Amino acid sequence: MHVKKHNRQLTLSERREDFVKVGFLKSLLVHPEAGITIAVVILLIVFSVASPSFLTAYNIFNVARNVASYAFIAIAQALVIVGGGMNLSVGAIGGLAVVTTGYFIDVQGFSPAIAVIIALLVGLAAGAFNGVIITKIGINSFVATLATLFVFTGIVYGITKGYPYINIPKSFTIIGRKGIWGLPYLFWLMVVALGFIFYLFNFRRFGRWLLATGGSKEATRVSGVNVDRIILLSHVLSGLFAAIAGVLWVSRMGSAQPATGQDWLIISFAIAIIGGTALSGGSISALGLLMGSVIIVLIRNGLILLGVNIYFEQTYLGLIILLAVTVDRIRAFYYQRAGI
């Protein structure tokens, strides 16, 4: 839309209309997740046509569950990236939660519900530990969470000596392995989590202030917001989501593997960034996180379904991610040109 020339003073309702009325195509341009969504739709079509196995119930269930597993990890990372930081210890906190769950169920004989609560508390505490180091001691989040990555991983090995906890009751695997309405419980849990993220950043002061902190720490501080508290809380939430991801992995695996979480770091960044969480902070999108998870899972799934040469798999993965990001650059270009 071209900027209209107004010769007379506009009425209030006209002015309101002016910025509420943004056309569909234009809203596609405005939203950074639009590019990635388009890429996902393209991939869905390509894989559906190219492989008869793609739309089988087994595969849909499988893909949906992997998407959910990634989304939780990505949320844990995005929550701190949005405030201008990062959390290198997401996987380590996840591993800590896995081991805590396994230890209290297998060794201490607690009921799974209580073990899960303890594990989530451990996640909260680990996140709070990160947050306190960053805000009170004033160490930047990269260094602080790099250090705690080692601390937490060390604790995991110290407790387990590398052994998994295997006496996890069958009932505990229901969440990780079963589903309803054709999709896994994990997927529905992810929908709830993403809904929470959407609500947090659109309708809560905390979310607004965290976004503001990522945009300009100084401006937020002079606006009377206790920025340190916001950053601390974002790390607590990050720890909680990493722990949720860990607990859900225990439920999926039916055992508590101490190495869980060791490869989460890169994936957590990749999904968050692909999904429109700017690395410099200040933006987050629930839909983007979903689409980021979907695209990574789809690519891996599709490549195997299509029988791509395993030795070149990573190359294809990289190329398709580049493609998705390019689609977004094109969107951003037209967005700039449109001048809305």
Site string for another protein, 82-101 (x = CB under 8 A): --------------------
Angle between helices 205-215 and 227-253 (to 10 degrees): 110
305 binds another protein (CB under 8 A): yes
Q: Minimal distance in Å, beta carbon 42 to another protein?
A: 20
Q: Minimal distance in Å, beta carbon 288 to another protein?
A: 14
Candidates 72, 74, 86, 252; binder of another protein (CB under 8 A) is 252
Enumerate residues 125-184 that contact another protein by CB under 8 A. 154, 157, 160-164, 166, 173, 177
Which one of the spans 32-40, 111-119, 141-149, 221-229 is the region binding another protein (CB under 8 A)?
Answer: 221-229
Number of residues engaging another protein in binding (CB under 8 A): 73
Q: Minimal distance in Å, beta carbon 228 to another protein?
A: 11
As a whole number of angstroms, the longest Cα–Cα distance in the chain is 77
96: buried, middle or exposed (CB in 10 Å: 19+, 13-18, 0-12)?
Answer: buried
Candidates 204, 229, 329, 330; binder of another protein (CB under 8 A) is 204
Would residue 245 be called left, alpha or beta, if left means φ above 0 and alpha means ψ between -120 and 50 degrees? alpha
The rounded distance, in Å, linking the Cα atoms of 312 and 255 is: 32
Q: Minimal distance in Å, beta carbon 113 to another protein?
A: 22
228 binds another protein (CB under 8 A): no
Instruction: Using DSSP, state whether 165 is helix, strand or coil.
Output: strand
H-helix or E-strand spanning residue 184: strand 183-184
Residues facing residue 180 across a β-bridge = 183
Q: Are 101 and 224 in contact (CB under 8 A)?
A: no
**What separation in angstroms does the CA of 241 have from each of 72, 125, 193, 220?**
6, 12, 9, 25
First to last CA, the chain: 7
3 binds another protein (CB under 8 A): yes
Q: Minimal distance in Å, beta carbon 224 to another protein?
A: 4
Q: Minimal distance in Å, beta carbon 128 to another protein?
A: 22
Which one of the spans 124-132, 133-141, 296-304, 325-333 is the region binding another protein (CB under 8 A)?
Answer: 296-304
Residue 139 or 255: the one with the smaller Cβ distance to another protein is 255
